[in-house]
Amino acid sequence: MKRITIAIDGFSSTGKSTIAKQLAKELEYIYVDSGAMYRAVAYYAMQQGFIGPNGLDAAALVAALDGISLSFQWVPGSEDAAMFLNGENIEAPIRTLAVSQQVSPVAAIAEVREKLVAIQQQMGAQKGVVMDGRDIGTVVFPEAELKLYLTASADTRAHRRYKELLDKGEKVSFEAVLKNVQDRDYIDSHRETSPLKKADGAIEIDNSDMGLKEQFERILSHAHSLIHP
Ligand code: DC
C-alpha cells in the first residue's frame, strides 16, 4: 500500500496533535510532535541558565546545541511516546505554562531550527509519518502528499489550553493562557526564519465550531483518497 507524508500546521492549540495522533493510529503511521522538540530545547535553555531576567542568551544556547540529544521513547503505562532530553524523560515539564512562555523566542533561532528540521526530516524519510508543527508543510516536508492548516479563534484555543492545564493540576489564570496564546501567535508568525504560514496546496480547516469526529472523518477521507487513488 502507498505510504504518504501528512504535514499538519497551525497556531498553538488548534487541536493539531489530537488529530495527528488519531490519524497515525488509524493509518499505522509514526506520529511526530515537532513542537515537543522545540519545547525540549527551551527547557534545556532554562535548565542551563540561558534564560534569565534579561531574556534569552541565544549565543550561549547555539554554542551548546551539540550537547542536546533528543528522542521520542515509549514509557510503560502511557499511550503516547514521551520526549527525552539527554536520556531524561521531560514530557511533563515541557507542557507547563512556564515552558510555553519561553519557547517561541527559542524556536525563532535559525540554528535551533536547522538542527531540529534535520532530525525531523530523518524521522520522516521513510514516509508513513504524520508530523505536526508550524513549518512542516512549508519547510520540513514541502513535498508532503497531504498538507493541512488548522485554525480556530484565539479565544477558543485559549479555552482549550486553559482546560488542559487545569486538568493537569496547573494553577493558571485564563488571562495568562490567552496572553500566551496571542504572544506565541505573533512571534511564531512574524519570525524571520520559517514563520508559520499556510503551505502551498494545504487544506485549511477552521475547527472553532467543528466536532473532533467530523474533522477527523474529513481529514481521513482526504488521506484515503491519496493512499488509494
Ligand atoms: O505545538 P506547540 O505549541 O507544542 O509548539 C511549541 C512552540 O514551538 C510554538 O510556540 C512554536 C514552536 N514550533 C515551531 O516553531 N515549529 C514547529 N514545527 C513546531 C513548534
Express each pLDDT in 74-113 by its tens digit: 999 999 999 999 999 999 999 999 999 999 999 999 999 9
Report whether residue 117 contacts ligand 1, using a CB cutoff of 6 Å: no
- Work out which ligand 1 atom sits closest to the CA atom of 140: 18
The best mutation among 120, 188, 191 to test binding of ligand 1, ranked by most ligand atoms within 8 Å of the C-beta, falls on: 188
Ligand 1 neighbourhood includes 9 CB (under 6 angstroms): no
Mean pLDDT of the chain: 97
213 Cα: distance to centroid of ligand 1 (angstroms): 25
Rounded distance from Cα 36 to ligand 1 centre (Å):
7
Model confidence at 64: pLDDT above 90: yes
User: Residue whose CA is closest, atom 3 of ligand 1?
Assistant: 12
First to last CA, the chain: 11
pLDDT at 117 (0 to 100)? 98
Of 65, 81, 173, 69, nearest to 131 by C-alpha is 81
CA of 38 relative to ligand 1 center, distance in Å:
6
- Does the pLDDT of residue 123 top 90, yes or no? yes
Contact 61, 109 (CB under 8 A): yes
Residue 1 has pLDDT above 90, yes or no: no
Binding site membership of 194 for ligand 1 (Cβ less than 6 Å): no
Measured CA distances, 3 to 8, 13, 145, 154, 226 (Å): 16, 27, 10, 34, 9
* Distance from the alpha carbon of residue 1 to the mean position of ligand 1, in angstroms: 31
Distance 151 CA to ligand 1 centre (A): 15
Q: Residue of the nearest CA to atom 2 in ligand 1?
A: 35
Task: Report the alpha-carbon distance of residue 119 to residue 125 in Å, rounded.
Answer: 10
Instruction: Quick: pLDDT tens for 23-32.
Output: 999 999 999 9
Cell representation of residue 31: 506520529
Binding site membership of 134 for ligand 1 (Cβ less than 6 Å): yes
Cα 177 to Cα 155: distance, rounded to the nearest angstrom: 10
pLDDT attached to residue 161: 96
- Note the pLDDT of residue 207: 94
Q: With CA atoms as reference, report the closest residue to 86 among 44, 137, 31.
A: 44
Among protein residues, the one with the nearest Cα to ligand 1's atom 9 is 104
- Taking the alpha carbons of 155, 158, 163, 166 in that order, is the dihedral positive or negative? negative
- pLDDT tens for 143-178 read 999 999 999 999 999 999 999 999 999 999 999 999
Say what the pLDDT of residue 229 is. 86
